[in-house]
């Protein structure tokens, strides 16, 4: 079973037992389009918070420029994400372009 499907099963288990979960993934990825995650997304307790990782200080190791990396936080408990709600790009800087490699590693 693929890792994404396992994560969905864990989230479904948590929901089914009235427990909480938190999942972070880049916006636009295929993860939340998987059937299991679609089920999780339709649950009344599931909420989504959109954040930009540059607001958390994510930077390109080579250039030092901020990396925007829009991300989604799927969660069931507002306390998990309360300190992250304002993590939006301030739009007062340039962003690194993630392509190529640095020291033999893909960016």
Collect all residues with Cβ–Cβ distance below 8 Å to 33 and sequence separation of at least 6.
Answer: none
Average pLDDT over residues 62-80: 96
For residue 31, pLDDT over 70 is answered with: yes
Identify how many contiguous H helices and E strands the chain contains and give both numbers.
3, 5
pTM for this structure?
A: 0.87
The DSSP code for 38 is H
Rounded to whole angstroms, what are the CA distances from 71 to 13, 18, 34, 49, 88? 23, 25, 17, 8, 10
Closest alpha carbon to 96 in 57, 74, 72, 63: 63
What pLDDT is attached to residue 101? 67
Do residues 34 and 7 touch, judged by C-beta distance below 8 A?
A: no
For residue 78, pLDDT over 70 is answered with: yes
Average pLDDT over residues 88-98: 94
pLDDT digits (tens, 9 = 90+) for 6-23: 999 999 999 999 999 999
Average pLDDT over residues 45-60: 97
What is the Cα 76 distance to its own chain's centre?
14
């Amino acid at each position: 079973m693929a890792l994404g499907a396992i994560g969905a099963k864990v989230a479904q288990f948590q929901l089914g037992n009235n427990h909480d979960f938190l999942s972070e993934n880049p916006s636009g990825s295929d993860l939340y389009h998987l059937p299991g995650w679609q089920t999780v997304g339709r649950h009344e307790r599931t909420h989504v918070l959109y954040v930009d990782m540059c607001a958390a200080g994510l930077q390109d190791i080579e250039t030092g420029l901020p990396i925007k990396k829009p991300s989604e936080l799927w969660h069931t408990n507002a306390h998990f994400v309360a300190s992250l709600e304002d993590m939006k790009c301030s739009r007062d800087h340039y962003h690194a372009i993630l392509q190529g490699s640095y020291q033999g590693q893909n960016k």
